[in-house]
Amino acid sequence: MPSKWTNGGLRRVLDGTFNLTSGVVKVMLLNTAYVPDPDHEFVSSLSAFEMSGTGYVGGFGGSGRKTLAGKAFAKDDTLNCATMDATDPTWAGADFGTAGFMAIVQEVTNNGDSPVLAILDLGTGGVLTMGGTFTVQLGSFALKLSA
């Protein structure tokens, strides 16, 4: 279940345009038809693949997009990387189909100017939601920069 920075997201973090520590970071869920592409710079490139249904209201400002709280950063000298973790996002009453990917985004004023920072693959075949609480355990994905 790898995570992948987008080219634009990585540039924004490295040049200081976006600060992961103080900036508001949201996650949005994408269906299994999405094909990850590091060139997808803005949410408008992903919005056709955003989940929708019971427990998930997609779109800019929609309640399906969750703000990441409790962000924590660490370095791992064994794996030679730095990682970001956060409180695991949850969706109650989730019955919106099969989620294949989760995008880490910054909402600005609309989908066209909201950058995509990274894409997390939720696993082969995705995860079927069936009416319960759907939780993504972020620590499993370790958004990281490697040395």
**What does the pLDDT read at residue 39?**
96
Per the CB < 8 A criterion, the answer to whether 72 and 83 are in contact is no
Of 128, 135, 108, residue with least CA distance to 26: 108
- How far is CA 14 from each of CA 29, 84, 87, 143, 144, rounded to the nearest angstrom? 25, 15, 23, 15, 13
pLDDT tens-digit readout, 72-128: 988 889 888 888 889 999 999 999 999 999 999 999 999 999 999 999 999 888 898
pTM summary value: 0.91
What is the percentage of the chain residues whose pLDDT exceeds 70?
93
Sequence ranges of the domains in the chain = 3-146
